[in-house]
Amino acid sequence: MRAEGTYVDCTAGFGGHSELICQRLTSGRLIAIDRDPFAVARVKERLKSFACAEVIQSDYGKLARILPELKVGPVDGVLIDAGVSSMQLDDPQRGFSFQVEGPLDMRQDTTQPLTARAYLAACTETELTRVLRDYGDVRPAQRIAKSIAKRRERNTLNTTFDLRDAVCEALPFVSGTPDEVRTVFQAVRIAVNDEYAQLERGIRAGIDALAPGGRVVVIAFHSGEDRIVKNVFREESHAQRTFLADGRIASVTPPRLRVLTPKPVTADADELLDNPRAHSAKLRAAERLAGKEAA
C-alpha cells in the first residue's frame, strides 16, 4: 500500500477493511462505499477520527459515476468483499436468514422498493426456476419454484419461515432442513439485489479507475461470484482482437491487467478459527498494467 495513495473500499460493511486501510494512510484518501444505510451509519461512526475517509451510501456498480463526482482521479486500490455481511445475516428484520423468522425482505439497500416478498410475488415460475438454477445451483429448481408459486397463490409467502417451508414441502423425502433451503435463499437474495450485474460492473469500473500499478482485489463467497471475477480478470489480462468481415484482424487492444493470483487465496486454519464464515471465501487480485507494458 502507498501511505499517500487513494483507495476505494466498495463494500465497507462493518468498516473492518476500511479502518485497516485508514491506519496505513498518511496523506492518502479512502472512499468507503456501501449500499446499506445501516452499514454506512456504523462505518461513519467507526471512521470519524480519520480525516482521510469519506463514506458514501451507493452501489459500487455505479463506481464510474461516484468517483468523478468526488473528483477522485486514478486510484491505487479497489477492494470488493462481495455478498452479505454478518450484520445483515444476523438481524431477523432484514430477512436474509432462514434460521430466524422475519419478513421476506433481503434488501441490502433498504431504500430500494423491491423486497424479496415483492420479487417472489411478481416473478413467473419460469423466471424463478432460472434464478434458482443460475444463482443457487439448485438442482430440483422447477419443483421448488412450483412449491413457492403454490404458497404465493394461497397468500402464505410472507416470512423467511414461509420460504423455508415452501422448499421443505417440495422435498418431503429429505429429513431435517435440506441444503436447498440455503441455496434458494442465496439465489433469491442475488436476484433481489441484482448482485451479479453489480459485481461485474463494479470490477470493470474499478479496473478503469486504477492508476498503473494499482490493484483490484475481490473476495467472493460462492462459485457464481468467483466465476465472474475469474472471467473478467482473464478477459482483461489478454489482448482483445476485433476482426474484419474477411477474417483479418481489425484492431488489437493490449491487456490491461496482470493477474497476481493464478489460484484464489483461501483462509487458513487460524483465520477460520477467528472467522468461520470465511470458509468459502476466495480472494483474487490483479494489477493494472502501465501503458507501455500493456502495448
Ligand X SMILES: C[S@@+](CC[C@H](N)C(=O)[O-])C[C@H]1O[C@@H](n2cnc3c(N)ncnc32)[C@H](O)[C@@H]1O
Residues that bind ligand X (CB under 6 A): 11, 13-17, 33-36, 39, 59-61, 81, 83, 85, 108, 198
Residue 258: all three cell numbers together: 496482470
- Is 39 or 167 the residue whose CB approaches ligand X more closely? 39
Least Å distance, CB 295 to ligand X, is 33
Lookup result for grid cell 422447477: 142
- Is 11 or 160 the residue whose CB approaches ligand X more closely? 11
Residue 129: all three cell numbers together: 426456476
The DSSP result for 23-39, as a single string, is HH-SS-EEEEEES-HHH
- Is 124 or 275 the residue whose CB approaches ligand X more closely? 275
Least Å distance, CB 67 to ligand X, is 14
- Is 96 or 98 the residue whose CB approaches ligand X more closely? 96
- Is 161 or 196 the residue whose CB approaches ligand X more closely? 196
Least Å distance, CB 8 to ligand X, is 11
Least Å distance, CB 106 to ligand X, is 11
Nearest to 85 by CA among 211, 167, 189: 189
- Residue with the shortest CB distance to ligand X: 13
* Bridge partners (DSSP) listed for residue 217: 79, 285
Q: How far is CA 185 from CA 36, 98, 247, 292, in A?
A: 19, 7, 46, 46
* Rounded CA separation 293/281 (Å): 31
The DSSP result for 216-278, as a single string, is EEEEESSHHHHHHHHHHHHHHTS-EEEE-TTS-EEEEEPP-EEES-SS-B---HHHHHH-GGG
Least Å distance, CB 15 to ligand X, is 6
Least Å distance, CB 221 to ligand X, is 7
Nearest to 30 by CA among 14, 46, 51: 51
- Is 28 or 61 the residue whose CB approaches ligand X more closely? 61
